[in-house]
Every structure is written in C-alpha cells, then in structure tokens.
Amino acid sequence: MKGFSTIAIHGHEHVDAYGSHVPPIYVSVVYEYVDQELGLAKFTDRGTNLKYGREENPTTRALERVISKLEGAEDALAFNSGMSAISTLFLCYLRPGDKVVVPMELYSSVFVLLDHLASKMNIRVVKVWPSAEAIVEAVDRSTSMIFIESMTNPTNKVIDLEYLSKSLDLEERTLLVVDNTFTTPVILKPIKYRARLVVHSMTKYFGGHNDVVGGVIAGYRKDIAELWEWRRLLGGILQPFEAYMVMRGVKTLEVRFEKHSNNAMAVAEYLAEHPKIEEVLYPGLSKNPYYSIARRIFEKPLFGGVVSFKIKGSYSDVVSFVNRLRVIKRSPSLGGTESLIVIPIKAGSQFIEPEHRQKLGITENLVRLSVGLEDVNDILEDLGRALNY
C-alpha cells in the first residue's frame, strides 16, 4: 500500500476470527495468560505482552499502526490527550541540567508544563524566535531536545525543517521533536527531515469531528519502546472507544484536510481584500513571508485550515465581531467539521510571556479561525455580515 487514503483505511492490519474489516472496540481490561505457570501473556506485534488494559489494547494498537504508517515512522503510541503525549515525552527524555530549545510561540500549555519541569528538575528552557535560523543559533552541545511546531499556533509561522536537518547534528545528542498537528502527514512528514519523534493532538484533524480527545507520538522503534514503558507507568494509554473514533476519523483525513485547506484559502483571500482587516496570517497567500518555505517542504499545495487575522480596531471591536458570528462558533480547538474562532490572548496563547506575544504579533486584535467543512459561501457570508455590521 502506497496511497495515503489507502493506508488510512487499511493500514490497521487487523485480522480476527469473524473476518471483520473494521477493528472492533475491545473493552476488555484483562487478557488470558498463555502460560499460567510462568505468567506469560500473548505478545503483540511489537513484542509487548497483551495482558492488561493500562499497557496495551487491540483497538488502540490498530490505530497506532495506521498513524505510524501515515507518518513514515516505525511505530507509534496513542495517548488519552495531546498533553499526555507531550508530558510523557518530557518525563522520558529530560534529565536534570538538560537544555531544551523551543520557539517562543507554542501552544502555551506546553510552556506551563516546561516551566513546572524546569523548577522541579533544573532544566534550562531557552525560548527563541520561531525560525530555523534562530533555533540553530541557540543549539549547542548541551542541548538535549528541540521541541517545535511545524506551523506555529496561532500566527502560522512555518519552520524550515529542511534547513534544520541540514544545519544540526540530529543524531543521538540532540532530539528533534515536531508537533505536526497543524499540518498533518497529508502535507508534511517531519521524519523525512530527521525528526526523531512526531507529536499530534489527535483531537484535531485526526479525529476531525470535535467529539474525541487523544494524542499520539510516532517515531523510531527504539524510542517508542522506551516511551511505551513510561506510558505504562503513567497510565496515559488512549482508551478503546476513543481509539475507534479516531481511527474512523483518520479514514477521511486526506479528503477532509483538502476541504479544510481549500475553504481556508478562500477565506484568507477574501479577508486579505477586506477594508476592515489589518493583516491576514496564512502561509498559502503568496505575499506571506512563509509561503516559499511552505511550498518547498509541504508535499502538496495545501496549507491547512487555520487562518489568523487582525481586525482594525480595539479589543472591544474584536469581541463584538466574534459575538456577531452565527455559522462560526466561539470555541477553542481546530481541525473539526465546525468552523471555530478564538481570541488567542484569551485562549491558547494566554500563558506566552507578554513581551513575546507583542513581538510575535499576538495582539489584542488578533483572532484565530479554524475553517471547517461548511459550504465556503456560508462561511464567507458569516464573516462579511459580522465585519460589515
């Protein structure tokens, strides 16, 4: 199997006695020992024992096989949230005295987590401008990890992974971790650019319907084996019903992502010409400073479903605009069927340091729109009505 959607549909490799083409939801917590005297359970395809639901689950394992194939990885681990995946990753790999390089623009809960770990474990967190050049400059022999987003949240800056891969020693000494949530493997596979581990909030495009929470880490087999032990101890495995829901969502990931991207491009082009819009932040626009990087490293001319833009006026003007929307819902998250809008300084960016927010352009008049799968004319009409009030 080579085609993306073919893998998304059939890559689970599930086989059962009934010939089911859809992996069922295995709710059992316990599984039979094959050797009672030695206490040995059945082995999974990655050599772990299938004996207890905190460690392995057949439904969850089927999803992991799909995700690992889509990302071009050797294996994957599914977690009960994106932050569960990230926290497990940090606890597994970071040691006292380590230096972690991150861009100053990330989902701010990651910053809060790193700050807690820094105070408890004497980890040094270095925050730099979100560009490959700034990251390379900050990395030295004491750097144990680089954690980045493929496209930053919320201003959609695209980090040049090709430049990073050519400029840094990304073997054993420095671990490159890429959060690929905004771009998905439909258009970007960070492992091709020497990322050791790839993280997703599966709540977003993978699930795709705003009805399931989950996270995943994909990477090399030896790293996943180490992370598996930490997941077992911390209890962060994705539960079978949620795994089934995400697996169902992944089957339509490619067609949904294309629709999200096409709708978002239409929205970005409309807003770029609107007299009440100060700036549109979307890498699909040819005048965007990240357009050339995106075209070079993305596998398709698609740029995702998130469009951020600044409204001319005050914060109260922004709040009034958001409150006038009807089709677009006032809610966090992204990548689902519904169009959702937030004011970042009151949502996912609120814990970014104020001076960094200002430098990054995360201002009071910035809004982030996750463009959904509604008819694009209805989305445009909703935006126009709220802007022209």
**What is the number of structural domains in the chain?**
2
- Buried (b) or exposed (e) across 132-150, using 16+ Cβ within 10 A? bebbbebbeeebbbbbbbb
- φ, ψ of residue 320 to 5 degrees: the values are -65, -40
Using alpha carbons only, how large is the chain's radius of gyration in Å? Answer: 21
Are 184 and 232 found together in one domain?
Answer: yes
Print the domain residue range for 347.
253-387
Which residue would you say has higher pLDDT here, 177 or 172?
Answer: 177
The answer to whether 149 touches 178, Cβ cutoff 8 Å, is yes
Specify the range with the lowest mean pLDDT, choosing from 15-19, 70-74, 188-192, 310-314: 15-19
pLDDT above 80: residue 36? no
CA quadruple 271, 255, 338, 264: dihedral, nearest 10: -10
Residues 193 and 283 in one domain: no
Q: Are residues 245 and 259 in the same domain?
A: no
- When pLDDT is cut at 50, 70 and 90, the band that residue 39 belongs to is low
% the chain with pLDDT above 70: 98
Quote the pLDDT of residue 346: 85
Per-residue CA distances from 252 to 57, 260, 310, 365 (Å):
23, 12, 32, 34
375 exposure class (CB count in 10 Å sphere: 0-12, 13-18, 19+): exposed
CA distances from 260 to 64, 70, 221, 255, 344 (A): 24, 19, 32, 9, 20
Residues 246, 277, single domain; the answer is: no
Mean pLDDT, residues 64-76? 98
Q: Is the pLDDT of residue 32 over 90?
A: no
The HSE-up count of residue 357 (CA atoms within 13 Å, CB side) is 19
What CATH number should be reported for the domain holding residue 360?
Answer: 3.90.1150.10
Note the pLDDT of residue 295: 98
Tokens of 370: 């996750």
Q: 318 and 219, same structural domain? A: no
Show which of 250, 278, 309 is a domain's final residue.
250
Is the pLDDT score of 350 beyond 90? Answer: no
Q: 178 and 258: one domain?
A: no
Per-residue pLDDT for 233 more than 80? yes
pLDDT the model gives residue 171: 64
Q: Both 244 and 282 in a single domain?
A: no
Say yes or no: 170 and 318 in one domain.
Answer: no
Residue 239 banded pLDDT, cuts 50, 70, 90 = very high
SS (H, E, C) the chain: CCCHHHHHHHCCCCCCCCCCCCCCCCCCCECCEEECCCCEEEECCCCCEECECCCCCHHHHHHHHHHHHHCCCCEEEEECCHHHHHHHHHHHHCCCCCEEEEECCCCHHHHHHHHHHHHHHCCEEEEECCCHHHHHHHCCCCEEEEEEECECCCCCCECCHHHHHHHCCCCCCCEEEEECCCCHHHHCCHHHHCCCEEEEECCCCCCCCCCCCCEEEEECHHHHHHHHHHHHHHCCECCHHHHHHHHHHHCCHHHHHHHHHHHHHHHHHHHHCCCCEEEEECCCCCCCCCHHHHHHHCCCCCCCCEEEEEECCCHHHHHHHHHHCCCCEECCCCCCCCCEEECHHHCCCCCCCHHHHHHHCCCCCEEEEECCCCCHHHHHHHHHHHHCC
pTM as predicted: 0.95
Residues 262 and 220 in one domain: no
Q: Which residue has the higher pLDDT, 108 or 290?
A: 290
Q: Residue 240 pLDDT more than 80?
A: yes
Q: How confident is the model at residue 349 (pLDDT cuts 50, 70, 90)?
A: confident
Q: What percent of the chain has pLDDT over 90?
A: 86
Residues 139, 101, single domain; the answer is: yes
Domain edge (last residue) among 199, 232, 250: 250
What pLDDT score does 17 carry? 83
Are 116 and 157 contained in the same domain? yes
Q: What is the CATH number of the domain that holds 134?
A: 3.40.640.10
Residue 150 and residue 257 share a domain: no
* Domain finish residue from 235, 250, 265: 250
Amino acid at 219: G
Q: Which of 37-41, 65-69, 215-219, 248-252 has the lowest mean pLDDT?
A: 37-41
pLDDT of residue 167: 92
